[in-house]
Amino acid sequence: MASGKMSADTARLPRIEMLLYFLGFCGPAFYSIYVVYVLSKEMEDTLFEDLELDQSSFLPFLGRKKDIADFEWVFWQTHLKEGLVFCFVGHIVVSRLMSMFLSKYRREAYLAYSFLCLYLVLGWKPLCVLLAHCMVFYAAALLRSALLCWGVGIFIVATLNSSLFKVLQYTLSGEDESTYYLLLFTAAMSILRQLSFSLEVCKLRRDQKAYSLFDFLLFNFYIPLFFNGPVITYNTFHEYIKHPILLDKTRLERVAWCACRVTIWAIITEAAYHLLYFCELEQQISILENLPLMEVTGIGYLHVQFFHVKYMVLYGFSSTIAMLDGIEPPMFPRCVSALYTFTAMWRYFDNGLHTFLVRYIYIPLGGSHKGIVRQLLASAACFGMVCYWHGGQYYLIAWGLLNWTGIVVESTGAIIAKTATVQHYTSQLSPQNQRRLKALCNAPILAFLILFNLVFLGGTSAGYVYFDKFFISGFPFVTVKLLASIKDMASTEEAEAEAGAKAPKKNVSYPLRILYCGECTLPVEYCEYMPNNDKCKAWLEKNLPSEFGKLYLSEKPPEGGDTGDTDKKGRQKRGGRGNIKIKKKAEPQGVTIARVQRNKKKYVTRIRGLATYDIDLEQARKFFANRFACGASRTDEDEIVIQGDVTDDIFDVIPEKWPEIDEDNIDDLGDQKR
- Asked whether 546 and 616 are in contact (CB, 8 A), the reply is no
Q: Which of 420, 435, 554 lies closest to 492 in space, CA to CA?
A: 435
How high does pLDDT run on average in the chain? 80
For the chain, the 3-state helix, strand and coil shares in percent, each to the nearest 5, are: 65, 5, 30
**Collapsed DSSP state (helix, strand, coil) of residue 46:** helix
- Asked whether 250 and 227 are in contact (CB, 8 A), the reply is no
Residues 6+ apart with CB under 8 A from 529: none
Decide which of 234 and 26 is more confident. 234
Domains, the chain:
102-243 (no CATH), 276-499 (no CATH), 591-672 (3.30.780.10)
Q: Report whether pLDDT(481) > 60.
A: no
Q: Report whether pLDDT(280) > 80.
A: yes
β-strand 603-608 against 591-597: which pairing, if any? antiparallel
State yes or no: cis peptide before 230, omega within 30 of 0. Answer: yes
- pLDDT tens for each residue of 152-199: 999 999 998 887 888 888 888 888 888 889 999 999 999 999 999 999
Percent of the chain with pLDDT over 70: 80
- pLDDT tens for each residue of 112-162: 999 999 999 999 999 999 999 999 999 999 999 999 999 999 999 999 888
Q: Which of 253, 500, 228 lies closest to 352 in space, CA to CA?
A: 228
- Asked whether 377 and 362 are in contact (CB, 8 A), the reply is no
- Asked whether 284 and 296 are in contact (CB, 8 A), the reply is no
Q: What pLDDT score does 513 carry?
A: 56
DSSP 559: T
- pLDDT tens for each residue of 42-77: 888 777 665 444 544 566 666 777 888 888 898 998
Name, of 56-60, 437-441, 661-665, the range with top average pLDDT: 437-441
- pLDDT tens for each residue of 381-407: 999 999 999 888 888 898 899 889 988
Q: Average pLDDT in the 481-488 region?
A: 53
What is the distance between the alpha carbons of residues 392 and 277, in angstroms, rounded to a whole number? 28
Q: Which of 296, 280, 301, 282 lies closest to 474 in space, CA to CA?
A: 296
Of 12-26, 192-206, 239-253, 321-335, which gets the smallest average pLDDT?
12-26
Q: Is residue 274 annotated as part of the catalytic site, yes or no? A: no
Active-site hit among 308, 354, 390, 424: 390
Residue 30's Cβ-count burial label (10 Å; 0-12, 13-18, 19+) is: exposed
Q: What is the pTM of this model?
A: 0.72
Side-chain-side CA neighbours of residue 643 (13 Å): 8
Q: Average pLDDT in the 569-590 region?
A: 45
Q: Average pLDDT in the 209-228 region?
A: 92
Q: What pLDDT score does 220 carry?
A: 95
Q: Report whether pLDDT(456) > 60.
A: yes
- pLDDT tens for each residue of 613-641: 888 888 888 888 877 777 788 877 788 98
What is the distance between the alpha carbons of residues 415 and 372, in angstroms, rounded to a whole number? 11
Q: Average pLDDT in the 534-557 region?
A: 66
Long-range interactions of 94-98: CB distance < 8 A, separation 24+: 95/324, 95/325, 96/324
Confidence of residue 412 (pLDDT cuts 50, 70, 90): confident
**Collapsed DSSP state (helix, strand, coil) of residue 275:** helix
What is the distance between the alpha carbons of residues 289 and 275, in angstroms, rounded to a whole number? 21
What is the distance between the alpha carbons of residues 232 and 219, in angstroms, rounded to a whole number? 9
Q: Which of 407, 233, 408, 417 lies closest to 327 in space, CA to CA?
A: 233
Q: What pLDDT score does 25 carry?
A: 77
Q: What pLDDT score does 44 carry?
A: 80
